[in-house]
Amino acid sequence: MLLDGYEAPPLHHATVLIEDDRIVKVGPMASTPVPPGYSVIDTSGRTMMPGMIELHGHLILLGHGNYGQWFPWIAKQGPTTLATVMEIAARQLLNAGVTSAVDLGAPLAESLDVRDRIAKGAIPGPRMSMSGPWITRQGGGMTDQFGGIAVTSTEQAAREVEKLAAAGVDVIKAHSGLTRDDYKAIADTAHKYNIRVHAHVYAEDDVRNALEMGIDVLTHAGSAGTAPPYSPKLITDIVNAGRPVVITAAHRSWVYPDTAEFPERLQDPQLRKDFTPAIYAEIQRSLESWRSLGYFQRTDREMIFRERGVKQFTESGTVLGMGTDSGTPMNFHSEALWREAKVHVDMGMPPIKVITALTRAGAAILGKTRDLGTIEAGKLADIIVVNGNPLYDITALSRVETVVKGGKVMKQ
């Protein structure tokens, strides 16, 4: 079965022809013969869909419970460990069916290096769009470990964007704590370089400032940190502006209760395979008392608001992309995106819309609709094969059996 990324009925018994890195033809098997000389990837009894697009991940995190211990631990291991961590994260994402991803916060040099090594084919991973360090005001957000930049003036905010653009970042992350003028300066400067800006915003005033000052993507808005829900006027303005929102709903107020129900997920044998023995041991140690982690201190309150937070957007016609804050405590790259998809379906979003948000809408938010997001002739051949029918059971997305990226089989 083929889901092509549009909100259209599936194409049953489908064939997709790929030459080099592009899709050349899509059609029913009966009328789309495979020409001689092609190698065949058998997808019988399975569902094909576009590779998924993760709009908010963190390659420098692997689900460890405490940033204040994770980063010093990495530093103590030696100078190459951070790169190893990012490679592991990239491989986990790719194996989970993520063929494109946005990283929103990591040191600059390491960010560009891992992106470029993936692009060259030296290591496996999704097509990465890297922000490098985020921009905030003093006290506006953790800066040291994520390489964040704390500016003291609007002029400096613009200058930092200039520097990041010159260094070659793909996106800019504007962290909360910035002023209205800061948002405008950051957006205007980034747009000169054709770079889009993702704002990390929770509070109503921050969301409104980012919206009105031209920030391209509102990320975290509607996730559980937002309590109480936004004013109807703000939602209306976001919808009318057509401004995309990436909620990152699952990462606290769903991951925590899901783990309470099934703590065994923390010892998924796949994690042992994904990590080095030392990293696995350190992450296990950090999660021994996961109920008392600082990261989940407000989860009780967040669980009261989580449903209203998500439904404000899913029921209003907001343009939604899917992002997860993957890598945050207990939020492993190997499963963050299907968990996020499940939350949206559980909150009433039709599965076909969620799949579109994971693919075609994600490509539009990245500004890459020419190449990504759908399975049709001319697009890059980023295709995954899942076991089951995700329209019936969205957790079929947790069973990604085959990953093709740019026409190359990356997992089978």
Per CB under 5 A, residues contacting Zn ion are 200, 325
With tokens 């980023």, the residue in question is: 382
User: Could you tell me the smallest distance in angstroms from the CB atom of residue 200 to Zn ion?
Assistant: 3
Ranked by CB distance to Zn ion, the top (closest) residue is 200
Show the 3-state SS of the chain.
CECCCCCCCCECCEEEEEECCEEEEEEEHHHCCCCCCCCCCCCCCCEEEECEEEEEECCCCCCCCCHHHHHHHHHHHCCCHHHHHHHHHHHHHHHCCEEEEEECCCCHHHHHHHHHHHHHCCCCCCEEEECCCCEEECCCCCCCCCCCEEECCHHHHHHHHHHHHHHCCCEEEECCCCCHHHHHHHHHHHHHCCCEEEEECCCHHHHHHHHHCCCCEEECCCCCCCCCCCCHHHHHHHHHHCCCEECCCCCCCCHHHHHHHCHHHHHCHHHHHHCCHHHHHHHHHHCCCHHHCHHHCCHHHHHHHHHHHHHHHHCCCCCEECCCCECCCCCCCCCHHHHHHHHHHHCCCCHHHHHHHHCHHHHHHHCCCCCCCCCCCCCECCEEEECCCCCCCHHHHHCEEEEEECCEEEEC
d(CA 320, CA 243): 9
User: Could you tell me the smallest distance in angstroms from the CB atom of residue 190 to Zn ion?
Assistant: 17
User: Could you tell me the smallest distance in angstroms from the CB atom of residue 31 to Zn ion?
Assistant: 46
C-beta of 64 vs 200, nearer to Zn ion: 200
User: Could you tell me the smallest distance in angstroms from the CB atom of residue 370 to Zn ion?
Assistant: 27
User: Could you tell me the smallest distance in angstroms from the CB atom of residue 328 to Zn ion?
Assistant: 7
d(CA 405, CA 202): 34
User: Could you tell me the smallest distance in angstroms from the CB atom of residue 268 to Zn ion?
Assistant: 22
User: Could you tell me the smallest distance in angstroms from the CB atom of residue 131 to Zn ion?
Assistant: 10
C-beta of 217 vs 410, nearer to Zn ion: 217
C-beta of 243 vs 405, nearer to Zn ion: 243
User: Could you tell me the smallest distance in angstroms from the CB atom of residue 197 to Zn ion?
Assistant: 13
User: Could you tell me the smallest distance in angstroms from the CB atom of residue 159 to Zn ion?
Assistant: 22
C-beta of 26 vs 59, nearer to Zn ion: 59
Return the bridge partners of 17, or none.
Answer: 25
C-beta of 91 vs 200, nearer to Zn ion: 200
Instruction: Name the nearest CA neighbour of 198 among 176, 217, 222, 213.
Output: 217
C-beta of 216 vs 325, nearer to Zn ion: 325
C-beta of 200 vs 243, nearer to Zn ion: 200
C-beta of 274 vs 325, nearer to Zn ion: 325
C-beta of 43 vs 134, nearer to Zn ion: 134
